[in-house]
Homo-oligomer: A and B are copies of this chain.
Amino acid sequence: MTDSVKVQGPHVALLLGEAFERVRRATEGPRWRGLRQSHLRILDTIEPEGSRAVDLARRLRMTKQGAGQLVATLLRLGLVDQVPDPADRRARLLVLTDEGGELRGALEVRLAAIEEGWADEVGAAEYATFRRVLLAIAERGVDGA
């Protein structure tokens, strides 16, 4: 029984899109080897023991071909490496190189700094709430989709 919050102002799609574009701009560009958000997501999703391309694709909700192309770029840049999967001769495990790990670490630091800045502006408690709701939304999504 929500008393109908009667949301106003720009709608969520615009706000989320705008906010996302802000972080995107802050985590792309030459300082990050020119990688796009999708590359960073791949980098971020690779597990310590190594991940198969098809698993990355599934988790990121894209085709294995799409993921394969992003991985190819990361391979070319020397940020990830391929090792044969001992459990399946078809598969290859993707692992971060030292350089890839460093980049991923730098990304985390950068994003943490951004979040700190935001928390400073709106207040720690408010930001904590924001993050909690955002997490819920990201996980559960939209009823009709």
Q: How far is the CA of A26 from the CA of B13 in the complex (A)?
A: 10
Q: Mark A20-63, 1 if CB is under 8 A from B, else 0.
A: 11111111000000000100110010000000000000000100
Q: Once bound together, how far apart are the Cα atoms of A14 and B43, in whole Å?
A: 12
Cα distance, A24 to B2, chains bound together (Å): 25
Q: Which of B4, B23, B108, B129 contacts A16 (CB 8 A)?
A: B23
Cross-chain contact A11 with B134 (CB below 8 angstroms): no
A interface residues, how many (CB within 8 angstroms): 62
Set of chain B residues within 8 Å of A122, measured between Cβ atoms:
132-133, 136
Task: Check if A126 sits within 8 Å of B132, measured CB to CB.
Answer: yes
**Chain A interface residues (CB < 8 Å from chain B):** 2-5, 7, 9-27, 37, 40-41, 44, 61, 108, 111-112, 114-124, 126-138, 140-145
Nearest 9 pairs of A and B residues by beta carbon: A130-B133, A18-B138, A26-B145, A16-B20, A22-B141, A26-B142, A11-B111, A129-B129, A25-B145
